Amino acid sequence: MRFFITTVLLSVLLTGCSTSEIMQGHHVSNVDPDVRIAKTAKIKIQGDPKGDELTNKRYISNVIASFNALGYKNVSTDYKHPNYILTINFLSSEKKKDLSVPIFNDVNDGYYTTCSKPKGSNQEVNCVRTERTVTRVTGYRKVTAMVSVYTFDFNIKDSKGAPVLVSSSTLENETCSKWKVFAFLAKEAVAKTSFTNPMDQGFTVKMPENYQCKADDN
């Protein structure tokens, strides 16, 4: 019996870093129903003081670009008297997860016959019947593995410190660079957030063909 383990995650589907990369995540957000953030509002962005300073600083420009794409053009780290304050935090951790992995075995797929007769001989034709085998999935088994969990949290408060919007998006991944996953989240989490209604739903990130998610550069 031969075992070939292929990870099958419930919340992450990876088709390989050298082809089109598809990740599935989850997004939860809540918003003050009485507040509408104007596209012209001055929004000061900052890293969460309780988070990793260097990581949050690294992705400030990514988050600004994501807000700009939604029409919020006045997002900056420099405002002294902003209308709103946007605080971001990128987190990573590990957790144990039960995975279902396929078991591959060689199984019978029929028979074939080959015949031969020695040259220059009156001997009868000799035929041999041979079993044909193919490798197929014959079952599944459960294994426990460590999976990396990446989270992007952000919140928006007004100038008086009252909460306006809170958002949390998570991806589970075990093959790609942590920095690449954070870059995915900085773009997709903001794009998926509703500024008018609460949300609790999954989302999908599909990278371009041959995108190298293992690389450490952005």
Q: Where are the domains of the chain?
A: 22-100+141-206, 105-136
Check whether 2 has a pLDDT greater than 80.
Answer: no
Check whether 19 has a pLDDT greater than 70.
Answer: no
Of 45 and 11, the one with more pLDDT: 45
- Please, what is the angle between helix 178-192 and helix 60-69, to 10°? 30
Q: What is the pLDDT of residues 154-207, one digit of tens each?
A: 999 999 999 999 999 999 887 788 998 999 899 989 998 999 999 999 877 676
Q: Which pLDDT score is estimated for 174?
A: 76
Check whether 14 has a pLDDT greater than 50.
Answer: no
CATH 1.10.3470 at 22-100+141-206, yes or no: no
Q: Which pLDDT score is estimated for 4?
A: 36
For residue 3, what pLDDT band results from cuts at 50, 70 and 90? very low
With residue 191 as reference, give the H or E element that holds it: helix 178-192
Q: Which pLDDT score is estimated for 208?
A: 62
**DSSP conformational letter for 39:** T
